[in-house]
Amino acid sequence: MLLTTTLLVGCGSDPVAAPDLATGTGGSLTHVATGTVSDRFTAEVWVRGNTAYTTTWGIRSTARGNAVKIWDVSASQPRLVDSVIVENASTTGDVQVSDDGAIMLVAIENNPNGGVAIYSMADARKPQLLIRTTGGELQTGVHTAELARVNGVLYAFCVANPASNVASRLVILDLSNPASPRTVFSQAMGRPNLHDVFVRDGLLFTAEWNDGMGIWDIGGAGNGSVSQPRRISQIATVGGQVHNMWWMHDPVTSSKRYVLVGQEGPGSVGSSSSGDIHVVDISSLTAPAEVAVYSVPGAGTHNFSVDEANGIAYAAYYNAGVQVLDVRGDMGSCGAGQRTADGRCDLLKMGRYKGQYTGGISGPVYVWGVHWTPTAVFASDMLHGLFRATPARR
């Protein structure tokens, strides 16, 4: 019996600022408040209950991205209550709390000793360090790290950066004893790098950059397992640069047909970005096909969060804030006038664009991550901090 918990995908960095994109508030989200962060650049966001966690990135002035900020979000206004400083870190990327709330996982980029930090969350606002890995296969830096429970066991799916003469690789850690993670799978993949994963219902999706998106059976579609994943298929999406994914389950239509694939094109962090959202139809796991695309001129997508009950996707879009899309129903069927030149359906022409949210900021924004909850949508803006908005409704 498979029980898999899927969580947000986070990572990266991107860029470009078309001035017309970076102003005004979104039509589908209502801005509530901003938890300002001015001492560091903000990276990923995770929310559990009344507590939000944001990581930090790079160097702002002389402050490193070695902090995980802890927010009380029980009220409208996010309130910073504490911070955890991750030892010997210069960028903390992904952050995630396990489904049972017991541990928090933080990805640490190359510094040059990257890895992950795992915290006990007995007190959700006072994380206690269990282990900060050093050396080994994670030393080149963990760009993304996802927690997922498969057959009752909690795993960390860690993506280790490439370096010269070192291939990027997926390293899966068994966190049965979170203070002593055990590697159960490790494999080089991605050209030139693996960037992220998504785990759900016994399937593992891998963002293998120019090699496209991989689909693996880890127990949900055959005899694969976490320790011995079996590749089912691989699809090269248009333009490559596969960065992140979200396999959508629509509880209303029972559709599990589509995977949203984020493309991260070239960009300059803080000012410019590029890359589209690609929609891949996986009706046939062995023959996935790209059927639709969403593009914002002058900006590029980053991490996703989906309100599946309402069929609404929130895509962090760096200098274009958060893009809100209607993802319910058939996204692969459209009229001739709704297609791109290469024949894919264009979500914008199909009227699926619902709005843009930039946190009520009149100047430039650079949104890294977004996290939907039934009562609020939180967005992490590298330049300003943590935005809070009311969710979109159908």
Partner 1 sequence: MQTGVLDAERYLRRRARPLSFSFPLLSSLLFRLSLQSGVMIAPLVVLHAQAPAAPDRQAELGAMAIGALTTASPAIANRRLTEGYLTQPNLMGAITAWRGRVGALRATGTLNFEGYTLERGELNAGMYGEGYIDRRHPHTLVHETMLTAATPSTSWWQASLSGGKGFTPYGTDDPMMRMFVKYPVNHHHAQIIERVQVLGAVRIGTTRSLVIEHGRFNGDEPLGPFTGPRWSRFGDSHTTRLTVFPANHLEVQASHAFVESPGLVQGGAFDHVQSSASLRYGGDSPHMLFLEAARTDEALEGRAVFRFNSVLAEGRTGWRGWSLAARAERTERPEGSRLLDLFRTQTGHFDVQIVGVTRWHVGTVQLAAPAFARKATRLAPFLEMGVAHAKARTNPAVFVPRDFYGAATQWSFTVGARLHAGTMRTRMGRYGVLDPALGRLRSPTHSH
* Strand 289-294 versus strand 345-346 pairing type: parallel
Main-chain dihedrals φ then ψ at residue 16, nearest 5 degrees: 95, 140
- The reply to whether 108 sits near partner 1 by the rule CB under 8 A is no
Identify the CA nearest to 46 among candidates 175, 149, 145, 169: 145
Q: Does 132 bind partner 1 (CB under 8 A)?
A: no
Task: Calculate the CA 281 to chain-centre distance.
Answer: 20
Among 135, 165, 343, 374, binds partner 1 (CB under 8 A): 165
Q: At closest approach, how far in Å is the CB of 109 from partner 1?
A: 7
Alpha-carbon span 11 to 232, nearest angstrom: 25
Question: Is 61 one of the binding residues for partner 1 (CB under 8 A)?
Answer: yes
Q: Does 264 bind partner 1 (CB under 8 A)?
A: yes
The Cα–Cα gap between 287 and 282 comes to 7
Measured from the CB atom, is 61 or 223 closer to partner 1?
A: 61
Candidates 5, 18, 58, 129; binder of partner 1 (CB under 8 A) is 58
Alpha carbons 95 and 86: distance in angstroms, whole number: 12
Lay out the sheet containing 51-57: strands in order across. 41-48, 51-57, 67-72, 79-85
What is d(CA 30, CA 324) in angstroms, rounded to the nearest whole number?
12
Count of residues binding partner 1 (CB under 8 A)?
48
Q: Is 380 in the site for partner 1 (CB under 8 A)?
A: no
Residue 62 in the binding site for partner 1 (CB under 8 A):
yes
Q: What does the block give as tokens for 116? A: 């992950």
Give the nearer residue to partner 1 in terms of CB position, either 72 or 137: 137
Count the Cβ atoms, other than its own, within 10 Å of residue 73. Answer: 23
254 binds partner 1, rule: CB under 8 A: no
Helix (H, G, I), strand (E, B) or coil at 86: coil
Nearer to partner 1, 264 or 307 (CB): 264
Residue 225 C-beta: closest distance to partner 1, Å: 29
Q: Compute φ and ψ for 338, nearest 5 degrees.
A: -110, 15
Task: Return the amino acid letter for 365.
Answer: V
Minimum distance of partner 1 from residue 88's CB (angstroms)? 6
Among 27, 112, 222, 251, binds partner 1 (CB under 8 A): 112
- Pick from 14, 290, 307, 326 the residue near partner 1 by CB under 8 A: 14
Judged by CB under 8 A, which of 212, 220, 267, 385 binds partner 1? 267
CA distance 356 to 354: 7
**Binders of partner 1 among 185-224, rule CB under 8 A?**
191-193, 195, 209-210
266 counts as binding partner 1 under rule CB under 8 A: yes
Task: Enumerate residues 6+ apart whose C-beta is below 8 A from 20.
Answer: none
Considering only residues 6, 13, 55, 323, which one is a binding residue for partner 1 as defined by CB under 8 A? Answer: 13
| Residue 109 in contact with partner 1, rule: CB under 8 A | yes
Indicate whether 295 belongs to the interface with partner 1 (CB under 8 A): no
User: CA-to-CA distance for 76 and 360, rounded, in angstroms?
Assistant: 15
Residue 340 lies near partner 1 (rule: CB under 8 A): no
d(CA 358, CA 265) in angstroms, rounded, equals 21
Pick the stretch among 109-117, 215-223, 353-361, 367-375 that binds partner 1 (CB under 8 A).
Answer: 109-117
What's the rounded Cα separation, in Å, for the pair 316 and 45?
11
- What mask, x for binding partner 1 by CB under 8 A, covers residues 70 to 99? ------------------x-xx--------
Give which of 172, 203, 169, 182 is closest to 6, Cα–Cα. Answer: 203
Q: What is the dihedral of CA 183, 171, 93, 130, to 10 degrees?
A: 0
The pairing of beta strand 128-132 with beta strand 115-120: antiparallel
Instruction: Work out which of 18, 24, 30, 59 binds partner 1, going by CB under 8 A.
Output: 59
Contact status: 10 vs partner 1 (CB under 8 A): no
Our finding on whether 169 is near partner 1 (CB under 8 A) is no
For partner 1, the closer CB: 268 or 333: 268
Distance separating the N- and C-terminal Cα atoms of the chain? 34
CB of 117 to partner 1, least distance (A): 15
Using CB under 8 A, list all residues that contact partner 1. Answer: 12-15, 17, 41, 58-62, 88, 90-91, 109-113, 143, 161-165, 167-168, 191-193, 195, 209-210, 241, 264-272, 363-364, 366, 382-383
